[in-house]
Amino acid sequence: MQPLIDNARMFGQSPEEFAKLAEGQSPQVLFITCSDSRVVPALITGARPGELFELRTAGNIVPPYASEHPTSEACTIEYAVEVLGVSDIVVCGHSHCGAVGALVRGDDLDAVPAVRDWLCHATPRPQGAVEDPAVAEGVQGHVLTQLLRLRSYPYIDKKLKDGQLTLHAWFYEVHTGAVLAHDPASDAFKGL
């Protein structure tokens, strides 16, 4: 913990670098990814403060759209699209994902009921090679499912049809640092 505290103490030593951030934000991208500590969106993309609007959830799950029972995730997505006017949404899964791995393997999650109940939103259950510790196939399929889920949000569907929004599916390999993007033409994940 101490190295984090030391960095936090030093972080604000040049307030002139941050003064402009007080004027507001206008990120172009909503970056939806897993809460996993090995996935650091700003590090992966090189984004500076104010350039990415982030949503981090266990397993980068986008919950079903339900306006009568909004979730914090749905509120974040709505704010990014309707208020901030992001032009792109990236759903970025990652190798070695504990959440997707548990789903692929069919792990018993009764000891962690909140996790179990949250992962129920990952329907259909991701498929993949149970013996693959990277769960690459499962995660990549899961990311594409989350893009479909985003399309079910009415305001996203409208912006997609109007050409005001683009969706992207990414896969980050924590063991290599490589980022792959889904290519709809070949239906495969390829290097950026």
Q: Using CA atoms, how far apart are residues 170 and 43, in angstroms rounded to an integer?
A: 15
Please pick, among 69, 92, 97, 107, the residue that the annotation labels catalytic: 97
- Is 97 noted as a catalytic residue in this protein? yes
Please pick, among 6, 9, 94, 105, the residue that the annotation labels catalytic: 94
Please pick, among 6, 9, 34, 56, the residue that the annotation labels catalytic: 34
- Is 36 noted as a catalytic residue in this protein? yes
Shortest CA distance to 170 belongs to which of 160, 161, 156, 180?
180
- Is 96 noted as a catalytic residue in this protein? no
Q: Using CA atoms, how far apart are residues 115 and 38, in angstroms rounded to an integer?
A: 19
Please pick, among 36, 142, 149, 182, the residue that the annotation labels catalytic: 36
Q: Is the peptide bond before 124 cis (omega within 30 degrees of 0)?
A: yes
Please pick, among 6, 38, 48, 105, the residue that the annotation labels catalytic: 38
Q: Is the peptide bond before 41 cis (omega within 30 degrees of 0)?
A: no
- Is 94 noted as a catalytic residue in this protein? yes
Catalytic residues: 34, 36, 38, 94, 97
